[in-house]
Amino acid sequence: MRINRKYMLTATMSMLLIAAGCDRLQHWFGKGNSEQGFVKEIPAGADDNSNQVAMLLPDFTQLVEQQGPAVVNIQATRDNHTIDGESEDSTDALPDNDPFYEYFKHLLPNVPKTPQSNDDEYNFGSGFIISKDGYILTNTHVVNGMNNIKVLLNDKREFQAKLIGADTQSDVALLKISANELPVVQAGNPKHLKVGEWVAAIGAPFGFDNSVTAGIVSAKGRSLPEENYTPFIQTDVAINPGNSGGPLFNLKGQVVGINSQIYSRSGGFMGISFAIPIDVAMNVAEQLKATGKVQRGRLGVVIQEVNYNLAKSFGLNKANGALITQVVTGGPAAKAGLLAGDIVESVNGEELETSSDLPVRVGLLPPGKKIILGIWRKGKKEEISVILDNMSPAITNPPAIASTTMPTDGTNFTEQLLGLTLRATTKGLMIEDVSGIAAQVDLRHGDIIVAVGQKLVHDKNDFEQAVQASGKSLPLLIRRGSGTQYVALMLP
């Protein structure tokens, strides 16, 4: 994380949205007693009271003793600047008579000394050792654009690190130092994490190395803006500048995530932090080690969440999966015959709980991989095989639909029961007016109704036939601006 030195010295600086810091993994981490727990269970009440919840009081001392040595402090600079070079002391920004002067002078020994000229030339964060020969994981934003990276071990040794590779999209970077027989962390399985479970972070917030904070898992599979390929673990663990890239441990002492971001409206930590699942990070690390870059599979669809009303309108018993609203022309999905209105329920037999699960599952697979999608189409389950292609930066986002003024044939008609006045156009039915139930589901003037379910509609006859066939639950595919989405219109 990039830190303004003056803010660190006041210790009450404000922050915006900050980047804060499995069998296939054995070749990285080696073997160890990864099943040992670090928790003491104290009953909440008498044994015969089954309605009372047992309280878990975690004891993190063993975790810190056993896993702490594998956590490192990372200091990175740009160009020819060095952290240990000549610069004013970090306490010089405070006057000698300031009551905080002596406090920071003695308690911030590892804060990078940075000249006043450009704070963007200095980053510091955390990381952890994943192999005995010196491979280290951290966040990309800690080392991105920096050409002088120093790693400080728990035993006070210092090493210059080589950047093996960094992936901006996942915010995972892989470093290498020249050392052997190093302590390593043990990898856990994020899929086994439960909401409400205790977790702990070790890192160097504000330069205070080997600091431990703890909390619980608040949620799993969080999608953040511009982060569609990472199912973040949300916790209430205190994460501050300098924790970036540090490990998130479960109570077995296993790493389950990399601390990456926090969210705040006040400028300070507000109990919401996010970690990258370790399985996602290790998938990236393996590719960076092998080729220095990351390739992700691409399906070539635009999707949306399936809510209760949409599930009902498509005839599903429960709201899950990913609803396809657009198929990218010439992409893998189009070649395989996927259609707008298909609901992807599974990938290679693994069910999708939410729509955000689909890009995560696909992004973890390499281009050229053949996958089997379980879909729901027109009231029936089907399976379709798709061969993924490469999600290059140029096609990360699907092409937008052109938003232009379309000629009309001048025909207006009103569907009074639906609360819609429509005009036929060359691209679909434009909404001229909304009222009643149509207004309640946020249909708007200017929206273009492209299809009802998967039936394209061009005129009044098409629309009325599709409405009659759909019953009392209408999934309307609308075009709004440059995007498309389904809206469920429920008839009384």
CA distance 174 to 245: 10
Phi, psi (deg, nearest 5) at residue 307: -90, 180
Q: Do 341 and 453 meet the contact criterion of CB atoms below 8 Å apart?
A: yes
Question: What tokens appear for 200 in the block?
Answer: 């702990």
- Give which of 262, 297, 280, 317 is closest to 171, Cα–Cα: 280
Q: Is 81 a catalytic residue?
A: no
Q: Is 106 a catalytic residue?
A: no
Of 167, 171, 209, 342, which is the active-site residue? 171
Q: Which residues pair with 249 in a beta bridge?
A: 200, 255
Of 126, 170, 244, 313, which is the active-site residue? 244
CA distance 6 to 241: 13
- For the chain, give the number of residues: 492
Buried b (16+ CB within 10 A) or exposed e, 144-177: eebebbbbbbbeeeebebebbbbbebbbbbbbbb
State the burial class of residue 86 (Cβ atoms within 10 Å of its Cβ: 0-12, 13-18, 19+): exposed
Phi, psi (deg, nearest 5) at residue 26: -60, -30
Of 81, 87, 126, 141, which is the active-site residue? 141
- Give which of 292, 157, 168, 274 is closest to 221, Cα–Cα: 274
Place of tokens 């020994």: 109
- Give which of 309, 283, 282 is closest to 295, Cα–Cα: 283
Cβ neighbours for 442, distance < 8 A, ≥ 6 positions apart: 487
Cβ neighbours for 3, distance < 8 A, ≥ 6 positions apart: 119, 122, 123, 124, 206, 241, 242
Buried b (16+ CB within 10 A) or exposed e, 66-75: bbbbbbbbbb
CA distance 481 to 445: 12
Q: Is 171 a catalytic residue?
A: yes
- Give which of 207, 215, 194 is closest to 270, Cα–Cα: 215
Place of tokens 């205190």: 238
- Rounded to 5°, the CA angle 56-59-60 comes to 125
Per-position DSSP letters for 83-147, written without gaps between them:
TTSS---TTTTS-TTSTTHHHHHHH-TTSPP--SS-GGGEEEEEEEE-STT-EEEE-HHHHTT-S
Catalytic residues: 141, 171, 244
